[in-house]
Amino acid sequence: QVTLVESGGGSAQTGGSLRLSCTASGYSNSQYAMAWFRQAPGKQREGVARINSPGATRYADSVTGRFTISRDNDKHTLFLQMTSLEPEDTGMYYCAAGPQLVDYHLQLATRGYDFWGRGTQVTVSS
């Protein structure tokens, strides 16, 4: 059974940093591309960052230059280093895994992923 478990969420002030982790089990996560999504109250879930097995990354425009996605395939763990946090970054952050090869428009879309964690809350105050 595929399981993704996020951790590392919490509260931060504007300009602060947080590091999220996602531990995968039930499969070899090097088989899949992995990503972080987030969902603010009353809004749709949006893609934040994606990384494939060789390490190629893609970021949403809103986080480019502030967030860094990385993965440790040996430890089956995905990370999201978040810096220069803004109140607009507040939301539930989800880890996801999906096929390595998908169309460009699906790389940061929920339809591009098959497996999801339950999320970890990030709250940024001004």
pLDDT tens string 8-54:
999 999 999 999 999 999 876 578 999 999 999 999 999 999 999 88
Specify the DSSP class assigned to residue 112. G
pLDDT at 29: 58
> Cβ-count burial of 114 within 10 angstroms (0-12 exposed, 13-18 middle, 19+ buried)?
exposed
pLDDT, tens only, 51-95: 998 899 999 999 999 999 999 988 899 999 999 999 999 999 999
Q: What is the model's pLDDT at position 42?
A: 94
**Residue showing tokens 């995968």:** 24
Q: What confidence score (pLDDT) does residue 44 get?
A: 97
Question: Residue written as tokens 């879930």?
Answer: 45
What is the predicted pLDDT for the residue at 114? 95
